[in-house]
Structure 1
Amino acid sequence: MKIMCLNGWGGKLHQELTAYVKDVSPDILCLQEVTHSPAAESEWLTYRDGDHILPQRANFFRDVARVLPDHVSVFCPAAQGTLWDGERAVPSQWGLATFVHSALPVTAQVQGFVHKAFSPHGYGEHPRSRSAHAVRVYDYEQDRFLCIAHMHGLRDLNGKSDTPDRRLQAERLAELVAHVSEPEDGLIVCGDFNIEPNSETFEILGTLGLADLVTTRGFPGTRTSHYAKPGRFADYMLVNEHVAVSDFSVVFDPEVSDHCPLVLTI
């Protein structure tokens, strides 16, 4: 089984990303920074936040679902705000999505917030609302249950250091995972956590028996050349003792986002 985790950057590198996802065809894809704009008339919109201007794929969720036709797709919105088609305001939902191959029955799932709550009338002030999603699936090849969860951690304009909000975020994620997983399940928790490798988040998730694969296997970071700021770590993938890792990679080539895909084979 292959599990991929990726911050999709709102589909800015849409063609490269969808081609890569189609080629790898992971059994489970955990995707963050996903746009969903049903009212859009154009394929591309623009995100504006002061001086921060970014092209966004209008219906990134639909685009990825189309290249994974054999998967069950779930979109988990964190907020609805405004993207722009020229000077036309377009309502757009923003959040994360999970894609599970239809051969893997989803026997339980939970969607919740790790920071704030759903923001229905704008993206809100920083640090903005952030959600998480967990699924429990049955793997017939291994004749057992697996639980896979991911979140998009809050973005603090002051940096990625530990804060009370980040501690609460980690505690909420752990509670969400514990709500659907059972003690003997293989457990995988991943996402763009927006934290440093020495964060207390790992201690909190360690209470679930989880250990990170990115930092313990010597990878130099999880950001691509499209990310020009200092600090090369943002994305992590943790597993418990019931997950037999066959292969794990931080994929630097091809570049499909300003984040690297994390790909686990078990």
Structure 2
Amino acid sequence: MSLNGWGGKLHEDLVAYVKTACPDVLCLQEVTYSPTSTSEWLVYRDGDHILPQRANFFRDIADALPDHAAIFCPAAQGALWDDQRPVPSQWGLATFVHRSLPIVSQAQGFVHKTFSPDSFGDHPRSRNAHVVRVYDFDRRRYLCVAHMHGLRDPEGKHDSLERRQQARRLTELVSRVVEPEDGLIVCGDFNVEPDSETFTILADLGLFELVTTRGFQSTRTSHYVKPGRFADYMLINKKLTVLDFSVVSDPEVSDHCPLVLTI
């Protein structure tokens, strides 16, 4: 499963859904972690954009999936707000892998800028990616899973030099972990349009995309009111056989739909 969790804004529904679905691997983007906070909720403020956030969204999901190894990959630390009090909070990706699938190698790194320790930074902000290689005892094979949260450009999801660079950096990061015989899955909130050259670059890894090639018309829920219905994608290589792939529109657990793949 790949999901942009929206900082846990729809916390109750999201946690219930993740508990029930219990994916073997969960790739979660837009994750908050405020280790010094005892509050359940904080507030993100960016000009006129104000959004409630779970103070420890990472911990919430780790508690919901107690049989999974939980890995948090921070991209930046900035301030969330507890009323008028700023609270140091980290923001980034998290990967949850069921303990029946041992992680035998992994890599995390940045696809845009680098770690921002003093603030969330100016847009487009730092973005990172995480890759895990696991062993599947049932199938006697290795599987490599990678995800990223692509940069957000206030001017839109068009191709740019920065987006070309982030696709190349993601390709390089995956190449450090994946082996030639591995099944490979690359997913996440890419923040690009379906015709982006990002997919041409990722094709160098032998990947093909599932969302648009299987006829899905959107990866957004009713909570997203802006134009543009695509942000999230999942790509696989030909080592894998798809048993089922879905863009889950019900229940709505974020302003993004979960992408769920069964191989």
Residue 49 of structure 2 corresponds to residue 52 of structure 1: yes
How far apart, CA to CA, are the structure 1 residues paired with 2:35 and 2:198?
A: 35
Unpaired runs of 5+ residues, structure 2, are: none
Alignment-mate amino acid for residue 242 of structure 2: V
Runs of 4+ in 1 over 6 A off after TM superposition: none
> Mapping of 1:154-169 within 5 angstroms?
154-169=151-166
1:105 is matched with 102
Residue 156 of structure 2 corresponds to residue 153 of structure 1: no
How far apart, CA to CA, are the structure 2 residues paired with 1:65 and 1:41?
A: 17
Residue 40 (structure 1) shift: 1.1
Residue 138 of structure 2 corresponds to residue 141 of structure 1: yes
Residue 111 of structure 2 corresponds to residue 114 of structure 1: yes
Q: CA RMSD in A?
A: 0.4
Residue 164 (structure 1) shift: 0.1
Residue 167 of structure 2 corresponds to residue 170 of structure 1: yes
Unpaired runs of 5+ residues, structure 1, are: none
How far apart, CA to CA, are the structure 1 residues paired with 2:38 and 2:93?
A: 22
2:176 is matched with 179
SS of the equivalent of 1:175 reads helix
Residue 204 of structure 2 corresponds to residue 225 of structure 1: no
After superposition, what is the alpha-carbon deviation per residue over 1:30-53, rounded to whole angstroms, capped at 9, x for unaligned? 000000001112100000000000
How far apart, CA to CA, are the structure 2 residues paired with 1:245 and 1:212?
A: 12
How far apart, CA to CA, are the structure 1 residues paired with 2:218 and 2:182?
A: 29
Q: If the length of structure 1 is used for normalisation, what is the TM-score?
A: 0.99
After superposition, what is the alpha-carbon deviation per residue over 1:1-59, rounded to whole angstroms, capped at 9, x for unaligned? xxx00000000000000000000000000000000001112100000000000000000
- Percent sequence identity is 73
> Mapping of 1:194-205 within 5 angstroms?
194-205=191-202
How far apart, CA to CA, are the structure 2 residues paired with 1:74 and 1:90?
A: 22
1:10 is matched with 7
